[in-house]
Amino acid sequence: MAEATKAKAVKAPKVADPMEATMEPATQDMLRRAQKLGIDTVFDRAVTMKPCAIGMQGICCKNCAMGPCRLPLPKGGIDGEDTRKGLCGATANTICARNFVRMIAGGAAAHSDHGRGVAETFLSAARKSAKDYSVKDPARLIQIAPYFGVATTVEEDGVTKDRDIDEIALAVAEKAVREWGKPELTASYIKRAPKPLQEKWEKEGVVPRNVDREIVECMHRTLMGVDQDYKNLMKQGVRASLADGWCGSMIGTDLQDVMFGSPSPLQAEANLGVMKEDHVNLIVHGHEPLLSEIIIAVAQSQEMVDYAKSKGAKGIQLAGICCTANEMLQRHGVPPAGNFLQQEFAIITGACDAMVVDVQCIMQNLANVAKCFHTKLITTHPIAKIEQDNVIHIEFDEHYAMEDAKRIVKIAIDNFENRGADVMIPKQRSIQVAGFGVESIQYHLGGSFRGSYYTLNDNIINGRIRGVAGVVGCNNARTKHNEEHIVLIKELLKNDVLVLVTGCSAIAAGVHGLLTPESAAVYCGPGLAEVCETVGIPPVLHLGSCVDNSRILLAATEMVKAGGLGDDICDLPAAGSAPEWMSEKAIAIGQYFVASGVYTVFGYHMPLEGAPVFKDYLYKEMEEIYGGKWDCEPDPIKHAHKMIAHIDKKRKELGIDKARERVLMDMADRQALGIE
């Protein structure tokens, strides 16, 4: 009997423990349901498939057919000279740096191709050949035009007049699309960075020329037998990352704001519980708002709502997954159904009538999961198809945006009646306030009379706010879903650090109730709580999707400009973090934060352990060059305290550390706030 039990135990497929896999109750329930239905999800696969130990160390080279060459670090580390080398003689530093630079190139390519798509659509809109897009935020267009060298006024008969907005749009669009491949040697948006930072980049020779060129050069230099000096390789990695953050992503964000409106704070719900049993549920997943904006317009049209009713539904419930969710949330209040690791579960509810995807962060397993239900999985982008035969491809063309979106929404509605009886939508859904942009932070925290980040800086100088942290990036099935984000953010808040979030981190913060003004009283230290309560903002500000990390760069630049906190981003009491990163995009983001002067801590692990010298270069020496450096800490509490220690170091350098001590020592103040 004992033998039989043992045999059975060996045979049972290994699955994830829901309580260990995620801290989020709706996701735990859905994981249990998936396991009961025999559907494997990313969490189970993370249990059965172990990551490659050599790849984890960053020292597997497969850049030519003499390899793959693997250079594992000897047990006990290197004693004396490091003699490891590949067939061609490539050292561990070279291999690790090449792999790292290729990750940056991959990430930068993704963000920047997204930005290019936006710029091209904007050009079509400006030429009036994409009738479903227009300029929704002319003020934003006028604000960015000078960076492209486009005049916003004209002289007529000695009088200065405002230039026609359509003319400005066309001129900006024509200049913007050139930023991807122009022959001139400097990307236009670089001049948005603080002057001392631009000078550092010039001195180092890392000023990006144009987006495509930097990515191509990354691929060239990392080819077998080209750049074999890790410091020189990283110069190109830095340049490509800057082309992403300060160019491709930033132009993407700006032109999205121009076409779809700049975000301003709004209230919405979050989590899988936003799906509705009696509605057509259409989930939009991916990244580019070009499609989702039009889907929102179509899904809200009376024609489609009536059509849904004619099929027995009460209406159409739109919800987002991943960064598309953030795009739809920040401009329209469409609720996110979840972040990266929740994508399979939106279908496993049994209530997803269609899931439409475009590019990036889309798991191929969605096709297998969709097969188990009635869900129609629709790909829309020519560069992102899925091989499984149950996937429908409807190519989205910006010139026929409305027609394409209607087809997609109709498929979802028509599929409503095919829904099976076995539906389980989790109850959990939370309330959040999202949609902070650079300008809305200025509005809420800047004080209208100075029109700058003065009040924010003032509160940092007087110590109520200890510093600012950008917490961004993915989920990773190798860490407990959402836990690193949430534990880290709460620890920062407790220590009076104002937190800016984007991407899957922002969705996690929304789902776990941190994006409400009320959460200030619950989670913040007394100083930050006081500021948030006075101003009426959440202590965690949702700044959008991953391309919108460019907003964080600009917010930091505004803080520098407002004065009192040094001359450059690296002087600010600020730090960056991606506690659950998994995508190459996160590496590109991390690198442009570091090269912009931000101390940036990643969670989980970094693929650098096999090349300690190269690792030291990123974790130590880089700070001397750019003012920012990399670090890694999987434990979220220690991770938070590394960031706080850096913030305190910067406060000390600025001579404002005493102010904070005063704030904390002042009992009368604390009593007045009702804290003691």
Q: Which residues bind ligand NFS (CB under 6 A)?
A: 322-323, 339-340, 360-361, 473-474, 503-504, 546, 583, 585-586
Q: How far is the CB of 341 from ligand NFS (least distance, A)?
A: 9
DSSP notation for 286-309 = SS-HHHHHHHHHHHTSHHHHHHHH
Residue 474 C-beta: closest distance to ligand NFS, Å: 3
Beta carbon nearer to ligand NFS, 124 or 360: 360
To the nearest whole angstrom, how small is the minimum distance from the Cβ of residue 584 to ligand NFS? 8
CB 107, min distance to ligand NFS, A: 7
Q: Are 487 and 637 contacting, i.e. CB atoms less than 8 angstroms apart?
A: yes
Closest Cα partner for 113 from 588, 603, 507?
588
If the CB atoms of residues 22 and 442 are measured against ligand NFS, the closer one turns out to be 22
For ligand NFS, which is the closer residue by CB, 91 or 339? 339
**Number of CB atoms found within 10 A of residue 103's CB:** 22
Are the C-beta atoms of 631 and 601 separated by less than 8 Å?
A: yes
Distance CA 366, CA 424 (A): 18
CB of 508 to ligand NFS, least distance (A): 10
Give one word for 393, left, alpha or beta, with left for phi > 0 and alpha for psi -120 to 50: beta
Shortest spacing between CB 41 and ligand NFS, in angstroms: 16
Q: Is 465 left (phi over 0), alpha (psi -120 to 50) or beta?
A: beta
Least distance to ligand NFS, CB of residue 24, Å? 15
Which residues contact residue 33 at a Cβ distance below 8 angstroms, ignoring those fewer than 6 apart? 348, 424
Sign of CA dihedral 29, 32, 38, 44: positive
DSSP-derived letter for residue 147 is G
The least distance separating ligand NFS from the CB of residue 293, rounded to whole angstroms, comes to 17
β-partners of residue 61 are 69
- C-alpha span between 245 and 551 (Å, rounded): 9
Tokens 């650079």: give the residue: 438
Q: CA–CA separation, 622 vs 613, rounded Å?
A: 12
Q: How far is the CB of 342 from ligand NFS (least distance, A)?
A: 11
By C-beta, is 173 or 509 nearer to ligand NFS? 509
State residue 384 phi and psi, 5-degree precision. Answer: -140, 85
Cβ nearer to ligand NFS, comparing 260 with 340:
340
Task: Give the nearer residue to ligand NFS in terms of CB position, either 197 or 547.
Answer: 547
Output the smallest distance, CB 572 to ligand NFS, in A: 23
Listed in sequence order, the DSSP H helices in 207-312 are 211-221, 230-243, 249-260, 289-299, 302-310
CB-side neighbour CA atoms (13 Å) of 553: 32
Residue closest to ligand NFS (Cβ): 503
CA distance 534 to 531: 5
Smallest gap from Cβ 338 to ligand NFS, in A, equals 10
Nearer to ligand NFS by Cβ, of 298 and 511: the residue is 511
Tokens at 157, concatenated: 């008969």
What are the respective helix, strand and coil percentages of the chain, to the nearest 5?
55, 10, 35
DSSP state at residue 50: P
DSSP letters for 190-202: GGGS-HHHHHHHH
Q: How far is the CB of 331 from ligand NFS (least distance, A)?
A: 16
User: Residue 123 or residue 546: which is nearer to ligand NFS going by CB?
Assistant: 546
Of the pair 209, 287, the CB lying nearest ligand NFS is at: 287
- Tell me, letter by letter, the H, E, C secondary structure of 551-619: HHHHHHHHHHHHCCCCCCHHHCCEEEEECCCCCHHHHHHHHHHHHCCCEEEECCCCCCCCCHHHHHHHH
Residue 319: CB minimum distance to ligand NFS, A: 14
Cα(504)–Cα(338) distance, integer angstroms = 8
Locate 667 and state its tokens: 């009992």
H helix or E strand, kind and range, residue 354: strand 354-357
Kindly tell me which of 215 and 298 has the beta carbon lying closer to ligand NFS: 215
Residue whose CB is less far from ligand NFS, 272 or 562: 272
| Other C-beta atoms lying within 10 Å of the C-beta of residue 9 | 8
User: Residue 116 or residue 585: which is nearer to ligand NFS going by CB?
Assistant: 585
Query: Minimum distance from CB of 320 to ligand NFS (Å)?
Result: 10
The smaller minimum CB distance to ligand NFS, of residues 444 and 585, is found at 585
Q: Which amino acid is at 331?
A: R
Q: Closer to ligand NFS at the Cβ: 30 or 477?
A: 477
57/339 with CB nearer ligand NFS: 339
Whether cis (ω within 30° of 0) applies to the bond prior to 539 is: no
CB of 503 to ligand NFS, least distance (A): 3
Q: How far apart are alpha carbons 13 and 464 in whole angstroms?
A: 53
